[in-house]
């Protein structure tokens, strides 16, 4: 009987609506994480929210559930795929993640602010927490004209960086730099495709059955720019975190299995495969290291930063 990665907990959110690929991305990660022959998270500890089920309330409830279910020895993955925006008004600016059903006229009630996200993450007691953000997609609400609001794409709410001060074992990997857009694809987006490959053991630094944070950083660095004409570069944020283990990559076996998909495709330009835009009530290989000054050289001599000790895994198949 396969050994389960019993300490693993995950919340995976795919907003859907005008970004239908985000649903496939979240489902893909959920499938790999809960596969006993791969990441081996207990299925009841992998929570998936997609499309109409991925509202603000559902996402915040999911984060609250992680707070209650996880303990200090847990490993937690929180993944969000959807729009991320910086919203400027006459009284200031704020960053938001846009879940399904967001309304530009009621952002505080229908979207998730960077402050709310930071507070929810800080409340989770796990000593190993990885936040994955596949945000800043092309197209969508940023193209709409909304009186009193100026919107610009933002792949990472700055407030989320506050979770890095909560102690060791807190890491954020976002899909792109602030001035870049994220590419969709089949079966997964460029960023999520690279995550799933790494979480299946591709490029693992050690052949011991585990995926680690640096494995994700190294693999995304190597493949995402090449698949996007050097237009998308994931970013890694951490300060005190070591290279902690996130999951198994082959159910505890040290030999990786074949990837669960063939012939992946990445859209030719950001937004080329985007679904119909919404109006009014919108429903909805470079890693830049930003952390302390203790840098660590990973596979291929790439600097990833932080003090390495130590896997991260995720994955399902898209249409």
Three-state SS for 166-208 is HCCCEEEEECCCCCCCECCEECCCHHHHHHHHHHCCCCCCCCC
The pLDDT of residue 282 is 29
Residue 189 has which token pair? 């987006």
Q: Are 248 and 237 in contact (CB under 8 A)?
A: no
Block means of pLDDT (10 residues each) for the chain, 319 residues, are: 88 94 96 96 97 97 97 97 83 86 90 93 93 81 57 77 76 90 93 96 93 91 93 86 91 90 87 54 30 31 30 31
3-class DSSP state of 31: helix
The pLDDT of residue 314 is 30
Phi-psi region of 209 (alpha: psi -120 to 50; beta: other; left: phi over 0): left
Burial of 90 (0-12, 13-18, 19+ CB in 10 A): exposed
Q: Check whether the bond before 187 is cis (ω within 30° of 0).
A: yes
Best CA proximity match to 215, nearest among 247, 167, 177, 259:
247
The pLDDT of residue 306 is 33
CA 30 to chain CA centroid, Å, is 12
The pLDDT of residue 164 is 76
Give the C-alpha distances (Å, rounded to integers) separating 171 from 2, 114, 127, 166, 316: 28, 16, 11, 11, 23
The CA distance from 275 to 140, in Å, is: 9
Q: Which fold does the domain 8-267+283-301 belong to in CATH?
A: Rossmann fold (3.40.50)
Best CA proximity match to 287, nearest among 200, 215, 183, 202:
215
Q: What is the dihedral of CA 97, 318, 74, 302, to 10 degrees?
A: -80
The pLDDT of residue 280 is 28
The pLDDT of residue 62 is 97
The CA distance from 11 to 216, in Å, is: 18
The CA distance from 106 to 145, in Å, is: 15
The pLDDT of residue 145 is 53
Best CA proximity match to 42, nearest among 232, 292, 251, 307:
251
Phi-psi region of 254 (alpha: psi -120 to 50; beta: other; left: phi over 0): alpha
- The two counts, helices (H) then strands (E), for the chain are 6, 15
Helix axes 21-34, 190-199, angle to 10 degrees: 10
Domain positions in the chain are: 8-267+283-301
Q: pLDDT tens for residues 114-153?
A: 999 999 999 999 999 999 999 987 655 544 555 566 767 7
The CA distance from 289 to 217, in Å, is: 9
The pLDDT of residue 12 is 98
């Amino acid at each position: 009987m396969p050994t389960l990665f019993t300490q693993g907990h995950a919340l995976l959110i795919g907003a859907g609506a005008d970004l239908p690929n985000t649903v496939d991305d979240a489902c893909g990660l959920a499938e790999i994480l809960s596969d006993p022959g791969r990441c081996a998270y207990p299925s009841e500890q992998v929570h998936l929210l997609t499309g109409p089920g991925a509202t603000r309330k559902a996402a915040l409830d999911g984060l609250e559930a992680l707070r209650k279910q996880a303990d200090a020895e847990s490993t937690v993955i929180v993944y969000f795929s959807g729009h991320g925006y910086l919203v400027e008004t006459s009284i200031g600016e704020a960053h938001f993640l846009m879940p399904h059903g967001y309304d530009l006229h009621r952002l505080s009630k229908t979207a998730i602010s960077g402050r709310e996200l930071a507070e929810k993450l800080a409340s989770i007691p796990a000593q190993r927490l990885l936040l994955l953000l596949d945000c800043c997609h092309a197209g969508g609400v940023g193209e709409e004209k909304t009186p009193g609001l100026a919107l610009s794409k933002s792949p990472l709410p700055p407030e989320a960086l506050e979770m890095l001060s909560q102690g060791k074992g807190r890491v954020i990997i976002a899909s792109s730099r602030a001035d870049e857009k994220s590419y969709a694809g089949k079966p997964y987006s460029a960023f999520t495709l690279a995550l799933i490959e790494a979480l299946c053991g591709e490029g693992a630094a050690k052949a011991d059955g585990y995926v680690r944070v640096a494995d994700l950083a190294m693999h995304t660095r190597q493949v995402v720019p090449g698949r996007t004409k050097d237009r998308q570069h994931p970013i890694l944020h951490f300060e005190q975190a070591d290279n902690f283990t996130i999951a198994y990559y082959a159910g505890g076996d040290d030999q990786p299995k074949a990837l669960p998909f063939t012939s992946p495709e990445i859209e030719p330009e950001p937004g080329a495969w985007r679904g119909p835009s919404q109006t009014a009530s919108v429903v909805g290989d470079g890693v830049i290291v930003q952390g302390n000054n203790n840098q660590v050289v990973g596979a291929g001599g790439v600097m990833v930063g932080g003090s390495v000790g130590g896997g991260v895994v995720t994955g399902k198949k898209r249409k």
